Structure 1
Amino acid sequence: MTILVIAEHDNVSIKAATLNTVAAAAMVATVLDDEIHVLVAGHEAQNAADAAAQIAGVSKVLLADAPQLEFGLAENVEATVLAIAKNYSHILVPTTAAGKNVAPRIAARLDVAQISDITSVDSADTFERPIYAGNAIATVQSSDRIKVVTVRTTAFDAVAAEGGSASIEKIDAAADSGLSQFVSRKVTKLNRPELTSAPIIVSGGRGLGSGENYTRLLEPLADKLNAALGASRAAVDAGYVPNDYQVGQTGKIVAPQLYIAVGISGAIQHLAGMKDSKVIVAINKDEEAPIFSVADYGLVGDLFTIVPELVSALDA
């Protein structure tokens, strides 16, 4: 049986989360000596299909192109997937908002158990996933004929976006389910890298004291490093920044090359969202703060002094 990855895309290009999901699929494919297919379900999405065909390790791209798939409504994507599901042993989607919307529907209709948020592939039927906010790792084995799996993208290094030469096959899209309709979309436009894909993140917590301090101290540092800006839940709840910035178990899971935590104590929910970062730098006046337990480098001191000094050092 073959492995299917449901691509996340904008009808023009493939989103980075798909590349991480293909990496997880490749581990399963290696065990089974199987192929990887990628489904692009959208409207006027030929460019996205062409991009998917270039992904390393993909042997075939399935393009379902219809107006009812333009906005990725889960009910319509689900119905399209169900029409071809019997041809696959594994169906993988990224653990993103879109993936978490469609995967449970597919699993329920197939009458199988969803395997959620995997961080490792032990074998074709055995996976690892974090539980208790990452404090324990569960090993999950499934005997279901079709395994529906969501992939924590930060746990798998992305495959190359170019170099592949997959064939593209057009398939029929399922009819509009009529269960939901797209009304509107409000997109936050940022002049800096997107949080979940940025190689460097500067993140602030309650220790900053106010939204004004967050902006005054962290934006210059992020500008110097061409970094994305993040925040702890405490900072978001206090109104320092919008919830789009939140990193953590109930926010966004990130794993950049460099994560700088400023004024963040390190609550377990926050650590669950960033502890897989390659290098973690923590700045906090409390030397007993939990953040230091995961930090590669720790600076104990007044952030109102340390952060401007860092910016000045980067100017030098």
Structure 2
Amino acid sequence: MSEPAGGEAAPGPLASLLRTLGVDPEESEHLAALVRPAPDEPAFTVVVRTQGRRRRSLLEALQSLAAQTWTRFGTIVAVHGTAEAAAAVETELEEAAASGAAPADCRVLHVEEGGTRAKPLNAGLDAADGDYVCFLDDDDLAEPNWLAVFADGAAAAPGQIIRARTARQPWLTEGTAEPRTPAGPVEYVYPATFDPLAHFSYSETPICSLALPRAALDSLGLRFDEDLTVCEDWDLLVRASQLLGVHCVDEVTTLYRRSDRANSETEANRQDWFRNRARVIDKLARRPLVLDGSEVHRLADARFEYGGGPSKRLENIRTRELLAALPGRLRARLIRTLRLK
């Protein structure tokens, strides 16, 4: 794969809005990162999130990083757990790196116990020094082209979030805490394109699908919400995408190994997910939304009427009023036909 050449920054929604208002982001030290040209060879920081309990799958994830065709990256293993767990991971990591089974530029970052899933992500983000920051969980696997695809995307759309595709596969844990054996075929359930309107309702993008421009995140103060127990990646993506934009590359670059012990399948965790989802949406409702102009046509097709809300609802009200004026038998027959109540 040829190395991409640097280019001018592709303006995201916020930069476009500022220029529409006559504000040049380049003249502001705070906003200049939004329009900064891409480096000829972008460097990446990969943050691997782990609690140190799934060491076999963690080493498999690191081995997938060692096989990357794009070599300008460093790795931070953020161990969210005890000091003993972090020390054990560091020992195994040194052995793996010595044998070529882990990236050479790899270090362990101990994140003290307590807090939510977002805590190690923020710790890794704060410690990152690459042009872009990417994330893997310890049960994810990266294809050899993962970072190379991100580099191509960065050349095509500097300054934007780069999004590739993630495949999913069910795995058996066989009585352990980590994936051991594939339990079914690889599934391609995540769409190839980023739909900003759909993402207001739910996430269609695993965290390993993303490369985030670090300088832009820093200048805008964008971080993961540590009050969320789940949905932290979705929340950051929805907030950041409105400001930076998302450039999609239709290539599968990661595999999410979905464990048969997935916590989200329990009723308690489903309720937790709904609570966190409500928090994400409430946060969005309290701030202005910034959308690319291309979404105007989709919003127009939603069929809203002046002063009354969605036209479909009004049509149903009028239909019921007409039915109420019909003779009883005819009305009953039409209701059965139209299945209106």
Q: Does TM, scored on the shorter chain, surpass 0.5? A: no
What TM-score does the superposition give when structure 1 sets the normalisation length? 0.30
Q: Report 1 or 2 for greater relative contact order, CA contacts < 8 Å, sequence distance ≥ 6.
A: 2
Q: Which is helix-richer, 1 or 2?
A: 2
What TM-score does the superposition give when structure 2 sets the normalisation length? 0.28
Q: Which is strand-richer, 1 or 2?
A: 1
